[in-house]
Amino acid sequence: MTIMERKTSLWIRRFNPAEGARARLVCFPHAGGSASFYFPLAQTMPPSVEVVAVQYPGRQDRRHERPIDDIAELADRIAGELAPWTDLPLALFGHSLGATLAFEVARRLERSGTVPIGLFASGRRAPSRHRDERVHQGDDRALLAQLKRLNGTDAQVFGDEEVVRMILPALRSDYRAAETYRYRPGPRLSCPVYALTGDDDAMVTVEEASAWGEHTSGPFELRVYPGGHFFLTAHAASIRDLVSHHIGAHAAHAQHL
């Protein structure tokens, strides 16, 4: 893949090209989310860290594509798409569904010889902690009600029937992917893992978040923030500083090896 092809990938969105960057942060959206969710982060991250975001099929400019409702298939595709972006040290950040997906992509990258400099898992229980959830099997009303409860979508969206019809297929597909995912035991990651969670998140307990430490042989850190499932919105500046600090430290170390 050429540089031009890399920059125009349907899967990877580069919001703030940073030619002098020392590391790259790859962001994975939540269920029903899109790459643009991370645009504010890209705008405020220091120039030493370039932010790119994954755009899943079935939403926004990819809305005419079939959504992929299987974590393994998504991870295979995304890991392949990231291969041309490994010219800089990579860190991965995922929220909710995106955290599970980032973990599976990290496993694939490590197997192919690319060890991320960090995995930031936000708003999601550890892969080995399973809950029997079946939101994706409910009707449209139940699915939208779940989305409202999590407070991660602008309330105006729910009043626009056309927009609702557009987001429902991808939303249902994402929930199916998240809820049918089953962790398959294997080698632990060797990269550092940072678990971020809200203290009032109905989707994740602190114990379930702390279990991320079982999935790496490298350093592990748990950060608990006030708030619910989308705690990261209220604490965006703090999380940005945390992520940029750790990326900077590990990128500097990697360059001196």
Question: Helix 161-180 crosses helix 71-82 at what angle (to 10 degrees)?
Answer: 100
Give percent above pLDDT 90 in the chain.
69
Instruction: Kindly give the pairing relationship between strand 12-14 and strand 49-54.
Output: antiparallel
What are the structural domains, with CATH classification, of the chain? 3-255 (3.40.50.1820)
Q: What is the pLDDT of residue 153?
A: 52
CA distance 63 to 61: 6
Lowest mean pLDDT among 70-74, 162-166, 247-251: 162-166
Helix axes 97-111, 161-180, angle to 10 degrees: 50
Candidate from 15-19, 53-57, 116-120, 229-233 with smallest mean pLDDT:
15-19
**Catalytic residue positions?**
96
Quote the mean pLDDT of the chain.
88
- Per mean pLDDT, which range of 63-77, 117-131, 133-147 is the poorest? 133-147
| Strand ranges for the chain from DSSP E | 12-14, 23-28, 49-54, 90-95, 118-122, 193-198, 220-225
